[in-house]
């Protein structure tokens, strides 16, 4: 199971990123643990200056803007 964190202030891009990751994982039948992180201190620990940020299993994989469904599929499938 992948641990995925979406880091951001709660803006529409952050909300859309969470929804897109969740729906993509469900479509692929992949179990994930999805967290929303809004605390500035925790976001800053990852060095993210532009949100949303996406962290998978402790590794920053995306910063700024909503990622594409294809990009998310690649993350979830290990590509």
Residue with tokens 């951001």: 8
> Which among 11, 28, 34, 49 is annotated as catalytic?
11
Nearest-5° Cα angle at 25, 23 to 29: 115
> Which among 14, 48, 54, 55 is annotated as catalytic?
14
Active site residue 22: no
Residues facing 63 on adjacent strands: 53
Active site residue 14: yes
Number of residues assigned to the chain: 79
Catalytic positions are 11, 14
């Amino acid at each position: 199971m992948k641990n995925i964190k979406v880091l951001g202030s709660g803006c529409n891009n952050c909300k859309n990123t969470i929804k897109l990751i969740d729906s993509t994982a469900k479509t692929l039948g992949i179990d994930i643990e999805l967290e929303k992180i809004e605390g500035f201190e925790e976001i800053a620990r990852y060095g993210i200056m532009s949100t949303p940020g996406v962290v998978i299993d402790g590794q920053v994989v995306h910063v700024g803007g909503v990622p594409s469904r294809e990009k998310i599929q690649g993350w979830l499938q290990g590509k």
